[in-house]
Structure 1
Amino acid sequence: MEFTTRTETVNKLASFSNSVTNKPSFLPGIISRDVAKPMAGGESHTPSILQKTLKLVKYEWKVVDDEDGEQSGFSGGQGRKEMKQKYLIYLCDKVTACGGWGDRQRGFVNAYLIAYLTGRRFGINMTVPCDIRRFYVPNLVNWEVSEEEVRGRSTRYIHAVGKENQYSFHDNLTRIDFNEVYPEDVIYLRTNVEHYWALRQNPHYKKTFPPWLIHGRPRFFDDAWQWLMKPTPLLQDMAVSLLMDWGWFNRSKPLACAHIRIGVSKYNPEDSRKINDIKKLGALWEFLQPYAKNGSVIFMASDNLVVRETSREKFGSAHRDTGGIVVHVDKQRDEDNACEGFQFALLDQFILTLCDILITTNSNFSFRAVLIRANVKGLYFFGNGKIKRVYAI
């Protein structure tokens, strides 16, 4: 079995975008959509952790000149001159619920897609349970928008969280010209659902979808996430420290991992439902036992500490976890240790993206890890007390 090398992992952790000499000058959202084409030899790229982090190098981009011969600046790729910059900012604050971390990740990339197609500068304002910039900062797309930058501009808030609100907004995206319906300079968007297919159906944008969007929703999420997010030194150092302690960089056996969501419990009392029965995890332990016996490290992540404790009892020295507390990022956002719990949740997910064997469950949290991992090799799903092989995402 081939394993990720130390160099590839460090590159992923740091997202060494600045070391790529042929990195494009303009990124999705500030480039011409209809002029992207593969660079000479670009199709010879083969997937790897480093290469998928920097997929953008396979395209060359240029700014479209307007009729006066001047560059269009931030045109959203439509080749028209923008007299005044407009914004679309993903918003997650104390005013209302945002959803769990997986929901927020989905919200980030789908808000970015809307911004790109409508020619708006994209921003992220997430301050609950603490500022996202403690753990992730802009990578290839600058999503930091200061208050001063938008002060005094016409503003509108769109709340597309919750069944009634999100379905109404989603349905509108299949047919509206976004900038006509929402002409304000600054749009703050609260959303946590997929808008990819709605926008693909929209006649206003159907013909302008760029090459990097036509490969489907999973590929779009992976690409957009890598463009948007770079882990901070805090998150990088935590991950590297654990991986080094586990001997991950020089391993000869696969890193076998599982994320098991239990749902409502004493650790997560406000969860919406019960996902798995904690008393019916036998198939999970049976599946992982051979890996533990053969010298693999078993990494266990869960929203329930009993799952981690049981793994430690069954696998002994082979068991690993991040040691963090369990806190739901949204439903327990006001607790004193909410930010600490959020930090360890991000660490859990980051490690899940590096696993050679990965067992997921009915959870958007682990599904996003699967999309970032971008590989069905060694991928399994646990549900209803059974483990099944996953062949496509």
Structure 2
Amino acid sequence: MYYQPHNIKHGKEFLQPSIDFDDNKRTSYLNYTYRLRNIRTRSSSIYTEQVSKIRMSNTFVTDPSKCAEHTFLVYSCDYSRSCGGMGDRQRGIVSSFILALITARVFIIDFEKPCELDNFLKPTVYDWTICKRFIKNEKNALTIDMMNKSSMGIDMNNLRFNLWHWKVVFVKINSNLIYQLRKIKDIRTNYGWLLNMSIPSAYNMILNLLFQPKDTLMSFLDNLIDQNVKEKYLVCCHIRVGKNPSIPQDNAFGEFEKPNETIVFKYLKRYTDPDKYVIYLASDSLYVRSEFWKIFKNGIHIDVPIIHVDRLGTHKHNEKEACDGLKYVLIEQYLLSTCDILILTADSGFGKYAAYLRGSSDNLFLIQLNDSQVITTKLRYI
């Protein structure tokens, strides 16, 4: 039975038991789950019909010499203002991409903070880099700043797409506009897939159409899985605590708005059999991560820097450190997307989109913020 987080009553009866996999099916299940090469290929085989529609639109450019013939919509993240964390940025990218399709503009990602996104990710089906140099020099441009605006407070009609005469429209945004974009009159006729697809499926499709890790990320993931997981189940947990000594610039959460790691660790102790499970913890707190390593001998130990990709603090003055922060955020998110058991902090975009990339509600759990109980959930509820 699944529970919506906002409808759950308090009490131990809602704490779900650990998953006991059928060992007779163990080998085939693991082989399917841990072949990380599906990260490289999954976008090429999913949603064939939708990919075909995107290819046929005039927003798809394959020849850089043809850039001057098109108009553009650019997701923009630079040092001129805050872009938010990785979850905020992925919301903005997905919203901007759909907006580009609707307005028949070529979609470009201009992601500079803390360093270029294409250092680590490359296009899959849709090339968001091909005209990037061209748009940098274009003077006939408009910037629309919708950062930190509630998606329900953004009126699509006020944007007046049909009157846009600019060659390039830069968009700064961290909201999910799918609900609002569905209200546009011609959506049902031209973009029926956007109406009929769930939010998790839409994000899964678009993020996979746009991105796949470059070899430097894939090599890290391949080595990590090969050295630590092998024929065991990978249990993953994301604990986000907000402002703490590791990221002092982050937003401070209230006492009942962040998970209690002690309660979460108690739950994780059901997965301590080293012959069957390995556990990976992703966290924005060095303290939480250190405590986890002390307790769990079957925990994966990766001593990577904890850096918020937007609230860089002192790392802002060290380009390599800041860029490494982005690299490891992406590595962790892709790793979470491959886990057999995934436990997430409620209301964290980073974890939510890892689950969307994972694409399954199987063995998906949520840490409730009010009492840190761990409950079974589904993608549509996180």
TM-score (norm: length of structure 2)? 0.80
Q: Deviations over 1:98-134 (max 9, x none)?
A: 0001111111111000001111000001011011011
Choose between structure 1 and 2 for higher RCO, CA contacts under 8 A separated by at least 6 residues. 2
56 and 255 in structure 1: CA distance in 2 versus 1, 3 angstrom threshold:
same
What are the equivalent positions in structure 2 for 1:145-164 lying under 5 Å apart? 145-148=131-134, 151-152=137-138, 154-163=140-149
Q: How far is 1:293 from its partner?
A: 2.3
What does residue 9 of structure 1 align with? 35
Give, in whole Å, the separation in 1 of the partners of 2:111 and 2:235: 32
58 and 11 in structure 1: CA distance in 2 versus 1, 3 angstrom threshold:
farther
Question: Is 1:236 matched up with 2:218?
Answer: yes
Q: How far is 1:235 from its partner?
A: 0.7
Q: Residue type matched to 2:89 in 1?
A: R
Q: Residue type matched to 2:170 in 1?
A: Y
What does residue 8 of structure 2 align with? none
TM-score (norm: length of structure 1)? 0.78
Aligned match for 2:238, one of 243, 259, 264: 259
Q: Secondary structure at the match of 1:334?
A: helix
Aligned match for 2:58, one of 67, 74, 99: 74
What does residue 284 of structure 2 align with? 303
292 and 299 in structure 1: CA distance in 2 versus 1, 3 angstrom threshold:
same
What does residue 280 of structure 1 align with? 260
CA contact (8 A) 1:263 1:276 kept: no
Give, in whole Å, the separation in 1 of the partners of 2:293 and 2:139: 55
Aligned match for 2:372, one of 376, 385, 389: 385
Give, in whole Å, the separation in 2 of the partners of 1:154 and 1:241: 47
What does residue 15 of structure 2 align with? none
381 and 7 in structure 1: CA distance in 2 versus 1, 3 angstrom threshold:
closer
Among the aligned pairs, what percent are the same residue? 24
279 and 73 in structure 1: CA distance in 2 versus 1, 3 angstrom threshold:
closer
Give, in whole Å, the separation in 1 of the partners of 2:30 and 2:142: 45
CA contact (8 A) 1:301 1:321 kept: no
Q: Secondary structure at the match of 1:98?
A: coil
What does residue 217 of structure 1 align with? 199
Q: Secondary structure at the match of 1:319?
A: coil
Q: Residue type matched to 2:375 in 1?
A: K
CA contact (8 A) 1:126 1:132 kept: yes
73 and 345 in structure 1: CA distance in 2 versus 1, 3 angstrom threshold:
closer
Q: Residue type matched to 1:178 in 2?
A: F
CA contact (8 A) 2:241 2:259 kept: no
CA contact (8 A) 2:76 2:171 kept: yes
What are the equivalent positions in structure 2 for 1:40-189 lying under 5 Å apart? 50=42, 54-58=45-49, 61=52, 74=58, 84-144=69-129, 145-148=131-134, 151-152=137-138, 154-163=140-149, 171-173=154-156, 177-180=160-163, 182-189=164-171
326 and 73 in structure 1: CA distance in 2 versus 1, 3 angstrom threshold:
closer
CA contact (8 A) 1:157 1:189 kept: yes
CA contact (8 A) 1:349 1:369 kept: yes
Q: Deviations over 1:202-225 (max 9, x none)?
A: 224343223365212111110000
Q: Any unmatched runs of 5+ in structure 1?
A: 16-49, 65-71, 77-82
Query: Superposition RMSD on alpha carbons, in Å?
Result: 2.8
What does residue 319 of structure 1 align with? 299
Give, in whole Å, the separation in 2 of the partners of 1:376 and 1:142: 29
What does residue 16 of structure 2 align with? none
Give, in whole Å, the separation in 2 of the partners of 1:366 and 1:60: 26
Q: Any unmatched runs of 5+ in structure 2?
A: 1-20, 61-67
